[in-house]
Amino acid sequence: MFVLELGGDDDAFAAAEARAAAPDADVVAPGVATASSLDADRFRGLAYAHRAGEHVATADADTAAAADALRAAIQDSPTDRDGTVAVRARNVRNTTDVDTQAAERELGGVLVDAGFAVDLDDPDHELRALFSGDSCFVAWLAAESVRDYGDRKPTDRPFFQPGSMDPLLARAVCNLARVEAGDRVLDPMCGTGGVLIEAGLLGARPVGTDAQAKMVSGARQNLAHFLDDFEVARADATSLPLGDDSVTAAVFDAPYGRQSKIETHDLADLVGGALAEVRRVADRCVLVADRDWREEAEAAGWTVESRFERRVHRSLVRYVLVLS
Beta strands in 1-66 (DSSP E): 2-6, 26-29, 32-35, 49-60
As assigned by CATH, the class of the 149-323 domain is alpha beta
- In the chain, what's the furthest Cα-to-Cα distance? 72
What is the predicted pLDDT for the residue at 260? 47
What's the confidence (pLDDT) of residue 263? 53
| pLDDT reported for residue 262 | 52
What is the predicted pLDDT for the residue at 259? Answer: 46
Rounded Cα–Cα distance for residues 68 and 59 (Å): 8
| Amino acid at position 253, single letter | D
Is 41 in a helix, a strand, or coil?
helix
Task: Tell me the C-alpha distance between 21 and 4, whole Å.
Answer: 11
2-144 belongs to which CATH class? Answer: alpha beta
Q: Where in the chain is the domain with CATH 3.40.50.150?
A: 149-323
Distance from C-alpha of 253 to C-alpha of 291, rounded to nearest angstrom:
11
pLDDT of residue 265: 67
In the chain (324 residues long), the average pLDDT of successive 10-residue segments reads: 96 98 98 98 98 98 98 86 93 97 97 94 96 98 97 96 94 98 98 98 98 97 97 98 98 76 73 98 97 97 97 86 98
CA count, 13 A, side-chain hemisphere, 69? 19
Distance from C-alpha of 286 to C-alpha of 37, rounded to nearest angstrom = 24
How far is Cα 160 from Cα 147, in angstroms, rounded to an integer? 22
3 state DSSP class of 52: strand
